[in-house]
């Protein structure tokens, strides 16, 4: 395997939209966490199974809460078990308030060469509504600190399609993001998950989701604005400057093998997908007891493989190679402007098609499974 994901669950508080596996802690238990990751890597890997990894991704949660020294120690532990290629992409997810010159210097020295900064919005009122712990000015400072510290490759996350009652200026947010000249931008439409504060407000009738029409308008507007600024819309939610695509996430979308460690982390060996215990307390309890923290696994069936191949292929501009029968089946999609078919019968969805990704993938999966 050439790709490693480490889930760092710690957050200062839970955002109003978040249903991820996180651990809210005022004090981050760096020692306990790093020791537990060391133990899990010992469980997952053997001395004879020494890998050289091409991408390493610290996700969360908020990995930047480990601080400069904590991230350096975590990277040292990883290197005890795997070799990190000289040209590897090593990404750290970070909240803006954690990105300062001192931390960036420590991260860069340790080997971090890419930051994924959770901006979400440049509107202070929206950020407060999301329960974010930073303001818009902190995003500017974070990008400046990253550049001054020598980490040029950074991505900004933004959330769109927030409820209309908030009167969010989406065009202004996009302009602010483009003005910071990031190498990469990720956009995520807001969903009101049941177990979140926003989901509960929605269930009580206190909050309405953005209508589908505005979701579509904001998505397409972002596509045009970012394309005009020189970004490639290479995956349904992701835009990059040329040569700056996320190599780690691109590996997921190609369906390759990868290892995941940490609470709730998933891994895939090409046949079996497994996942760890979600809760930090349970994950660390098992490892302290020298017990494998895996919580479940599944062997991908032939039907699963078809579904994944279709879905993953359609979500990127790499597209999906079709048979002649399949090409005939999707002809109406092309007429509707949802996709293009290249000379090698590679189907690539357009932004309009990506807005219909789930239904189009389900339709083509069903058709392919019957051939």
CA distance 9 to 187: 21
Number of helical (H) and strand (E) elements in the chain, helices listed first: 15, 17
Write down the pLDDT at residue 371: 77
Write down the pLDDT at residue 195: 87
Tell the burial category of 197 from Cβ atoms under 10 Å away from its Cβ (0-12, 13-18, 19+).
Answer: middle
Q: pTM of this prediction?
A: 0.96
What's the pLDDT tens digit per position in 98-115? Answer: 999 999 999 999 999 999
What's the pLDDT tens digit per position in 26-38? Answer: 899 999 999 999 9
Exposure string for 20-53, b = 16+ CB within 10 A, e = fewer: bbbbeeeebebeebbbbbbbbbeebbeeeeebeb
Nearest to 208 by CA among 161, 168, 172, 169: 161
* Helix orientation angle between 280-288 and 30-44, rounded to the nearest 10 degrees: 60
Tell me which residues of the chain have a pLDDT lower than 50: none
Question: With DSSP H G I counted as helix, E B as strand and the rest as coil, what are the percentages for the chain, rounded to 5?
Answer: 45, 25, 35
Write down the pLDDT at residue 192: 87
């Amino acid at each position: 395997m050439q790709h490693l994901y480490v889930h760092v669950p710690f957050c200062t508080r839970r955002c109003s939209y978040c249903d991820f596996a996180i651990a809210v802690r005022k004090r981050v238990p760096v020692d306990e966490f790093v020791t537990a990751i060391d133990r899990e890597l010992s469980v997952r890997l053997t001395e004879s199974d020494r890998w050289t990894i091409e991408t390493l991704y610290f996700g969360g949660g908020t990995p930047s809460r480990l601080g400069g020294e904590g991230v350096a120690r975590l990277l040292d532990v990883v290197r005890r078990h795997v070799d990190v290629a000289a040209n590897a992409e090593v990404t750290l997810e970070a909240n803006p308030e954690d990105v300062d010159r001192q931390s960036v210097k420590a991260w860069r020295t340790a080997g971090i060469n890419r930051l994924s900064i959770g901006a979400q919005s440049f509107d202070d009122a929206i950020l407060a509504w999301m329960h974010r712990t930073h303001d818009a000015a902190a995003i500017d400072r974070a990008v400046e600190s990253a550049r001054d510290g020598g980490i040029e490759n950074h991505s900004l996350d933004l959330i769109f399609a927030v409820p209309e009652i908030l009167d969010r200026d989406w065009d202004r947010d996009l302009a602010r993001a483009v003005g910071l000249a990031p190498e990469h931008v990720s956009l995520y439409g807001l969903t009101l998950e049941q177990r979140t504060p926003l989901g509960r407000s929605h269930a009580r009738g206190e909050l309405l989701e953005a209508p589908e029409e505005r979701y579509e308008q904001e998505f397409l507007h972002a596509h045009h604005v970012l394309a005009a600024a020189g970004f490639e819309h290479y995956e349904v939610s992701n835009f990059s400057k040329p040569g700056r695509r996320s190599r780690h996430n691109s590996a997921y979308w190609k369906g390759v093998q990868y290892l995941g460690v940490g609470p709730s982390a998933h891994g895939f060996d090409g046949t079996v997908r497994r996942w760890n215990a979600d809760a930090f307390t349970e994950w660390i309890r098992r490892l302290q007891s020298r017990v494998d923290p895996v919580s479940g696994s599944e062997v991908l069936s032939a039907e699963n493989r078809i579904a994944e191949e279709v879905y993953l292929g359609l979500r990127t501009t790499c597209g999906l190679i079709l048979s002649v029968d399949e090409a005939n089946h999707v002809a109406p999609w092309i007429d509707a402007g949802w996709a293009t078919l290249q000379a090698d019968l590679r189907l690539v969805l357009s932004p309009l098609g990506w807005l219909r990704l789930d239904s189009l993938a389900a339709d083509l999966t069903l058709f392919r499974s019957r051939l």
